[in-house]
Structure 1
């Protein structure tokens, strides 16, 4: 007998909302630290804390035997995808306004909806596909293809980093849906944090002394490769908060995509857009340029339509099932 994923849409939606709220706080804290610490040091610290908390959750969910898996290769691939996603996004975050980087990253739910068709066999109708296209138009507008390089504040390669992060994140979440058939959310979280620890330690061994950057290097490159330093006392709580937050994020997202269809859960990640605007203004004094506002509006509109369409379909199925029972 084959095991199928649980489908508990209400709980999955609640978990994704909590996880995305935690992500917005995480992004804000990492941007605050990006001017003084290397990315791999921040990643190592948060993941070391996160993996400890993850092991506690594994114990609570049934014991350490849950960490055994028959699919180590797929878990390794999933870990590498989320590492690429996070590193790409945080590199962009170090030089882009928080709202702009986040808005570009929100190509991820669009990718999830599209890729769930060939990879998971989920059905996405023409109306939802049309909404996804509208969302991608918003992403293109935020990329500002009509602007010359001289008029942009950053390189176009930097603008592409959040989109790369979105694609690899989408692939990761679709793999979570498949792997979640036989793996608990806590175990999935531990595998991810282990991947982060391994990669960040590799960066430390190769570049932890800062040998590959100097004062003339770009801000993103300095963030990636500057030397490790002992955190200032006033930053202790920020590092601790990031570590606690990553455990919450890893568990909520893994559990959400275990319990709900990807095309249903993904649109609720859009709550991260207004949260990014909020933190960007309150903490950094940034407000999006008009292209980003337009992109946010189109992405939110497409996400809301997908959600309403999914709800309408679910109600219709429920009525049909009710008729059969009668």
Structure 2
């Protein structure tokens, strides 16, 4: 395993983590335990994933079985969209720590830049009869961030970051922050390389974490079934002929090529898998170098904004929020 060093705390963050979005509670407990046994030390979850309890069970079991110590692990979770306000930060963080059965998390992210009104009984977004989500139009990033800083000072979280924020939003927080954002987690893969944003983060000592680093092949069925997305919306990076040719040259899988491409840019990757075979494969990504020609070939696959998969428009009406982070709408 290799690591990056986070600014301000000098904590070490494993460059490979296990993503857990869409991993149901009935299977993720076993998956996380197996991943820890294989050598994974970085687990990424979120309140919105509805699997923190199972992940906490796996971590607790692994620790109680004497497999390692809490200091060996790097656990990331996120403030949900229904708690994206200063008054809710500590409430949700303490709730999540209780669910995860942890005294602290290593990284706490604001999951999205916009906020929804919360159903206090279900802790889910309120939805109008029209199907539009009830937006919290008073989302205040600075006030929320200040509460995050307080939680860090209290020892509830080691490091702070953002997810799905744009450059302008991050800049405003940096100007007002005592503890500057240390990590930005965004969609990032060969079809959507976000080079300008990555450069901005490098200039500001912010580590970039790539979610959907393989183009999120598992999201296709979810979005097609639940939100009536067209199957053509989703890229097939794993089957791309150029990536296949590079994989054949190195005796690697296309997934290993795509992950290595990002790692060599000092980008942390959190591919999700429930297959032990793929979990092992996704770890075997540090022992080869792409040639300059191969690297450039993958760079040329970038589609810019047309390559974005996650625009959040499945939350009907979200584009009307003043802090919606993207300036385009995919029809």
Q: Taking structure 1 as the reference length, what is the TM-score of the superposition? A: 0.23
Query: Which structure has greater strand proportion?
Result: 2
Tell which structure's C-alpha radius of gyration is larger: 1
Query: Which structure has greater helix proportion?
Result: 1
Identify which of structures 1 and 2 has the higher relative contact order when contacts are C-alpha pairs closer than 8 Å and 6+ apart.
1
Q: Taking structure 2 as the reference length, what is the TM-score of the superposition? A: 0.22
